Amino acid sequence: SELTQPSAVSVSPGQTATITCSGDALPNQYAYWYRQRPGQAPVLVVYKDTQRPSGIPERLSGSNSGTTVTLTISGVQAEDEADYYCQSSDTTGTYVFFGGGTRLTVL
């Protein structure tokens, strides 16, 4: 089950960044989002489409509209510059898949 993300998104500090992830199974399977800074392990920033783990700022939010899920980062800061990956499953809910990742650049 393929998950498609834009390869790159660029925004200026203080603006809003939106990163999309599209896949046929998304209407029936939850999506998860990870942030990965250079040389570091991934960090879960959104789970079950819209929920934020403790310690993740409110300006990061997730939404689901059928075959597309979106990670929105409001008031972008320099520290948000990273690669972002969506994760979901196949239609049977058996296997785990990642999108190809989106490089967020803060101009």
Partner 1 sequence: QMQLQQPGPGLVRPPETLSLTCTVSGGSISSSRYYWGWFRQSPGTGLVWVGSIFSSGTTYYNPSLKNRVTISIDTSKNHFSLKLTSVTAADTAMYFCAISYGDTWPDGFDIWGQGTMVTVSS
Applying CB under 8 A, the span of 17-25, 58-66, 70-78, 87-95 interacting with partner 1 comes to: 87-95
85: contact with partner 1 by CB under 8 A? yes
Is the CB of 57 or the CB of 100 nearer to partner 1? 100
Q: Which residues of 12-51 are buried (b: 16+ CB within 10 A; e: fewer)?
A: eeeeebebbbbbebbeebbbbbbbeeeeeebeebbbebee
Applying CB under 8 A, the span of 11-19, 38-46, 57-65, 74-82 interacting with partner 1 comes to: 38-46
Which runs of E-coded beta strand occur in the chain? Answer: 8-11, 17-22, 32-36, 43-46, 60-64, 68-73, 82-89, 96-98, 102-106
Is the CB of 61 or the CB of 87 nearer to partner 1? 87
**x/- letters, 88..107, toward partner 1 (CB under 8 A):** -x---xxxxxxxxx------
